[in-house]
Structure 1
């Protein structure tokens, strides 16, 4: 967050649920959905607040009950071109959020889900997570829901921004009344969202947020199934040592993930006698020419390690390739967003020989649960294999649902207790949380292991053909998972 005044404005918006920031609508209006419309975009355009979209859903469905020419919105994240919907006035939206009208979804168990669906966040990552959440939701409700009631999943776009994530968590908890929250891709969002979860005593399971401090603060409400950044840095350094690297360039982002991840990687490399220099860019940077020229002006690196995330990483990787320092010129470890092979090749056509980090069981070790999810994910998205962040999103929601059922209640303390004692078999394997309230982290262990899934598999894989599908990559590290040798540029 760059401006404290902006932060204050966000907080003020949440304290006063009235929709603000746009010229008030004096009367509601009909609207026909256009290409690339999202309800959150329409809420921002007409009501001045992207998080006011539930009011559009509610009033459109009220209209549908009287006039079938209006759409019936069963999922606020899925609207179709040509649908006729109703945009309420700000007074009507205020009435909805103040509770003076009955809200959609009464009689359901409400769970919130965070993900980036707009820039500067990782749109490809958020889109994958959204598809995975929808698969999990369908399975949960087909199996009878939670506590005998259907689950209503309220998905919110965080844009990868801490302030937006904070506002989304406040809205989910204080206005939508969710009993738990799952998901999120960006650590910067997770770092602020966890504070809201803690302040409101609502359990949250983070899916793809790696920053150590997310669990190291040891909040009772906070759980994580993604790996911790410092452990990933250890694998990264071991890989670079195995290929004989002596000097490495780290390209990272100015975020709550990128800064500590670079520091941890630098430290692990130094322990192995590997020198490094780190370069920084903001999330969402489009033009990397200046930083690429600085890299080229320095010593030639044995490898470039990309800690940028999402589409920002694609921008750097392709521009580096065009400048002669891409994966076909020297060893480049691309961001794990490369797991979305369709998005990667569309954005990084010169990305062959890119090495990238994959989280989750190698395909030869997939469980029945992994295979079942992968089949549904392929049917839904057309992708041959699910990305790690899709598996994490799927598991986070299924895990929360199982915990609520085992708790027999939506009481937060009961859910937290259930999560601490849970054994869940999912797409990532068997998930447990060994350390927490009942079994504190030992004094000689890092506090990051609090409510942390300790066993996510981490492998290094490589594209070996242009246009190759992520399902067909070669596992090049570590030795116990290898399916082939690293191809050096």
Structure 2
């Protein structure tokens, strides 16, 4: 009887594991805190799946790649993960990076479940290979525009960096507000310092300033400059992209970071699964989990359900998206085709406008739901 070689033994051990590629921004210029929360959710869900017996006895394993907010790096990571034989790719927070990853996954025939990026045009054409958990930017930012209008803001100033994502957000706001008599005035932060922006705002007549810029630079210096300018004492600051969600925001800005409404993707109340996961995430992160951590957990929950039900063959996963019906931390997750969206979309993903309570900046207040 022949003795199996150590190489073949390793191959069988590898076959026993189901690998999922995870794209996360863990280093600058990526939003590393968001990446840390996303990875915590992914890892916790993998732990729970494996603790319950894995997928037909096969454990899940994450193969993590740091995108550092670099689209080219993300696309290269998708190529590498495909060669490594992952069953699917998951994750990513930055929309422009997720778009690069989704396009490459589509070209390779590799299933990609986008955890946290919202840009509507995630792929250039409709695809069966990509699905997304968060609400698309058009829905979330329309909700934010409705909040602004309901709060009496008709003239909105926007401090914007150059980016497809920021340009798309400004367009959504303008399209939603202009027919109702609103005005959106853009300020190019590539050409202005925070102090110069304040001077521009004084003559604007705007009642709200939205931060369509990166974090911490230049978002934090802009907030500090506006808060210290007595001419702008009545100006509301908003951050629809969610910068104030994370503890770094509060640590850098203190009380100045409160009262700045932002978008968050959580329901009004968590169900039993969400409550348990929130507790476990808090222990893992040593701080309150952001909505991004819940998105990470739900990503693995969906993929585990697909792999159990349809098997690990990539083509089977691609046709499984419309058949998903799984309870996540934030509600039941189902995918459908939404108008103008090129990927399978969780249409009922929760959307809130919240801020940090000025009386208690560690507490978040829900201001509007959509």
User: Partners of 2:211 and 2:57 in 1: how far apart?
Assistant: 46
Residues 1:129 and 2:32 are matched in the alignment:
no
Structure with max Cα Rg:
1
Q: 2:318 aligns with which of 400, 406, 416?
A: 416
Structure-2 change in CA distance of 1:325 and 1:242 (3 Å): farther
Q: 2:200 aligns with which of 295, 300, 304?
A: 295
1:168 maps to 77
Alpha carbons 1:187, 1:209 under 8 Å: kept: yes
Quote the offset at 1:291 in angstroms.
5.5
TM-score, normalised relative to structure 2: 0.89
Structure-2 change in CA distance of 1:167 and 1:325 (3 Å): farther
Alpha carbons 1:133, 1:397 under 8 Å: kept: yes
Residues 1:114 and 2:23 are matched in the alignment:
yes
Residues 1:452 and 2:345 are matched in the alignment:
yes
User: Partners of 2:299 and 2:217 in 1: how far apart?
Assistant: 25
Structure-2 change in CA distance of 1:466 and 1:312 (3 Å): farther
Residues 1:368 and 2:272 are matched in the alignment:
yes
Residues 1:359 and 2:268 are matched in the alignment:
no
Q: Which whole-Å deviations, capped at 9, do the CAs of 1:406-450 have from their partners, x for residues lacking one?
A: 10x211121122222010111121110133xxxxx6xxxx23174
TM-score, normalised relative to structure 1: 0.68
1:190 maps to 98
The aligned runs of 1:62-77 (5 Å cut-off) are none
Q: Secondary structure at the match of 2:344?
A: coil
Residues 1:346 and 2:251 are matched in the alignment:
yes
Alpha carbons 2:25, 2:35 under 8 Å: kept: yes
User: Partners of 1:327 and 1:224 in 2: how far apart?
Assistant: 39
Q: Secondary structure at the match of 2:57?
A: coil
The aligned runs of 1:228-377 (5 Å cut-off) are 228-281=136-189, 288-289=193-194, 292-293=197-198, 295-296=200-201, 298-312=203-217, 314-324=219-229, 329-334=234-239, 335-340=241-246, 342-349=247-254, 350-362=256-268, 365-377=269-281
Question: May I ask how many residue pairs the two structures share in their alignment?
Answer: 361
User: Partners of 2:74 and 2:13 in 1: how far apart?
Assistant: 23
Q: Secondary structure at the match of 1:304?
A: strand
Structure-2 change in CA distance of 1:339 and 1:275 (3 Å): same
User: Partners of 2:206 and 2:348 in 1: how far apart?
Assistant: 32
Choose between structure 1 and 2 for higher RCO, CA contacts under 8 A separated by at least 6 residues. Answer: 2
Quote the offset at 1:466 in angstroms.
6.0
Structure-2 change in CA distance of 1:198 and 1:291 (3 Å): farther
2:329 maps to 427
4+ residue runs over 6 A deviation = 101-104, 325-328
Q: Which whole-Å deviations, capped at 9, do the CAs of 1:181-206 have from their partners, x for residues lacking one?
A: 11100110111111111111011110
Alpha carbons 1:327, 1:351 under 8 Å: kept: no
Residues 1:392 and 2:295 are matched in the alignment:
yes
Quote the offset at 1:279 in angstroms.
2.7
Unaligned runs of 5+ in 1: 1-100, 436-440, 482-489
Q: Which whole-Å deviations, capped at 9, do the CAs of 1:116-164 have from their partners, x for residues lacking one?
A: 1111111111111111111111111111112321111011111112111
Q: Secondary structure at the match of 1:369?
A: helix
User: Partners of 1:280 and 1:247 in 2: how far apart?
Assistant: 17
Which has a greater percent of strand?
Answer: 2
Q: Secondary structure at the match of 1:311?
A: coil
User: Partners of 1:193 and 1:291 in 2: how far apart?
Assistant: 37
Q: Secondary structure at the match of 1:301?
A: coil
Alpha carbons 1:216, 1:448 under 8 Å: kept: no
CA RMSD of aligned residues (A): 2.8
Alpha carbons 2:128, 2:343 under 8 Å: kept: no
User: Partners of 1:157 and 1:288 in 2: how far apart?
Assistant: 31
2:366 maps to 475
User: Partners of 1:277 and 1:236 in 2: how far apart?
Assistant: 16
Structure-2 change in CA distance of 1:215 and 1:290 (3 Å): same
User: Partners of 1:311 and 1:414 in 2: how far apart?
Assistant: 41
2:116 maps to 208
Structure-2 change in CA distance of 1:255 and 1:105 (3 Å): farther
2:3 maps to none
Q: Secondary structure at the match of 1:227?
A: coil
Quote the offset at 1:332 in angstroms.
1.1
